[in-house]
Chain A
Amino acid sequence: AQSVTQPDIHITVSEGASLELRCNYSYGATPYLFWYVQSPGQGLQLLLKYFSGDTLVQGIKGFEAEFKRSQSSFNLRKPSVHWSDAAEYFCAVGNGGATNKLIFGTGTLLAVQP
């Protein structure tokens, strides 16, 4: 069965510092991978997605993620964090079928210190 693990429940970084959020997945075939962000009291917004091709994917708001098949990972990175990046981040894997169900990780809550 497919699953997603986000090992870090809560991360605090200083503004301007670099960020890496970890995501590991379990899936038998080629995974379809997504990162979503949720600001307080809001729905989820797609940051980026990967389904084939270049393993380094660029997204919105200066985020990128790298797919590493050998490590079953899809970590999210940003070189310099802004205070507005404080939010909860969810990694998800798609089931690859017509119904396009997404399985989500438990999320990582990012706090940004001034």
Chain B
Amino acid sequence: DVKVTQSSRYLVKRTGEKVFLECVQDMDHENMFWYRQDPGLGLRLIYFSYDVKMKEKGDIPEGYSVSREKKERFSLILESASTNQTSMYLCASSLPGQGYTEAFFGQGTRLTVV
């Protein structure tokens, strides 16, 4: 089974802190994604990566950056956390393809910024 593991289930950080959310997948997938989930807004794509050291902005990249130094690991970085970044963050991975290969999701990290 594909496994996508997010390092924390719950995280509480202070405004202005630099925050790292870590995600690891064990199926040698090329693609990795970070989504943010908010009530009534569904999942919105923050960043994605299609190869090591390669990244592209999603729909809501402002206030975030990412790092992918190894194929299996994709990190989301909040450079200076703000209260409006309180949310559920979901990591996913998939194979490259013609869109029919599904994305596999981690359990999510619920981040609270106080």
Instruction: Identify which of A6, A100, A106 contacts B99 (C-beta below 8 A).
Output: A100
Using C-beta atoms within 8 Å of the partner chain, give the interface range for chain B.
20 to 34
- 10 A-B residue pairs with CB within 8 Å: A9-B40, A32-B98, A41-B107, A41-B108, A43-B107, A52-B100, A94-B100, A95-B99, A99-B96, A102-B33
The A interface is mostly helix, strand or loop, or mixed, namely: loop
0/1 string, B96-110, CB within 8 A of A gives 1: 111111111111100
Q: A90: CB under 8 A from chain B? A: yes
Instruction: Identify which of A43, A99, A103 contacts B106 (C-beta below 8 A).
Output: A43
Q: How far is the CA of A73 from the CA of B76 in the complex (A)?
A: 34
Contact indicator A90/B42 (Cβ below 8 Å)? yes
Residue of B nearest to A44 (CB): B105
Residues of A within 8 A of B (CB): 6, 9, 32, 34, 36, 41-46, 49, 51-52, 90, 94-107
